[in-house]
C-alpha cells in the first residue's frame, strides 16, 4: 500500500495482481512463516529477497525471482513432480454399443 501511495512504478499493477490470490494464515513471523508455509503446502514463492530465496531453495521450495519489469526467473528448489508414466499414457476407452 505504501509503495502505491508513493507512486512507485508498477506497484499498483502488482497490488492488483496479488489480489487474485488468497491470503493464507501462517504461524510464526516474517520469513520463518513464509518458509514454513511453503514447505507445508509444497508451494512456490515469489520473492526478491535473496536471503529468503536461498533458505527456500535449501528446503527444496521453488522460487520465482523478479527480473526486470516483465519477467520472473524460476529457481528450482525441487524437481517438478510428474505423474507416473502409466498415468500419463493411460487413455479411457469407450466400448461401442450396439445401437
Domain locations in the chain?
2-89
What phi and psi values does residue 78 have, to the nearest 5 degrees?
-140, 150
pLDDT tens by residue, 55-89:
999 999 999 888 877 777 888 885 545 555 554 44
**Stronger pLDDT, 1 or 14, i.e. the higher one:** 14
- The predicted model scores a pTM of 0.61
**pLDDT recorded at residue 10:** 75
DSSP, collapsed to helix, strand or coil, labels residue 65 as strand
Question: Mean pLDDT across the chain, nearest whole number?
Answer: 77
- In angstroms, the Cα distances linking 35 to 58, 75, 86 are 10, 15, 34
Q: How far apart are CA 19 and CA 29, in angstroms?
A: 21
The whole-number pLDDT of residue 38 equals 92
CB 27 within 8 A of CB 36: yes
> Nearest 10 degrees: CA dihedral of 46, 50, 55, 58?
90
What's the pLDDT score for residue 96? 53
- The yes-or-no verdict on residue 35 having pLDDT over 90 is yes
User: What CA–CA distance (Å, rounded) separates 55 from 51?
Assistant: 6
Amino acid at each position: 500500500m505504501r509503495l502505491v501511495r508513493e507512486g512507485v512504478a508498477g506497484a499498483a499493477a502488482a497490488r492488483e495482481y496479488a489480489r487474485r490470490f488468497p491470503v493464507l494464515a501462517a504461524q510464526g513471523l516474517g520469513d520463518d512463516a513464509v518458509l514454513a508455509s511453503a514447505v507445508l503446502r509444497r508451494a512456490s514463492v515469489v520473492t526478491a529477497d535473496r536471503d529468503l530465496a536461498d533458505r527456500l531453495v535449501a528446503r527444496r521450495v521453488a522460487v520465482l525471482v523478479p527480473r526486470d519489469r516483465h519477467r520472473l526467473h524460476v529457481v528450482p528448489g525441487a524437481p517438478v513432480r510428474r505423474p507416473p508414466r502409466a498415468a500419463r499414457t493411460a487413455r479411457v476407452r469407450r466400448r461401442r454399443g450396439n445401437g
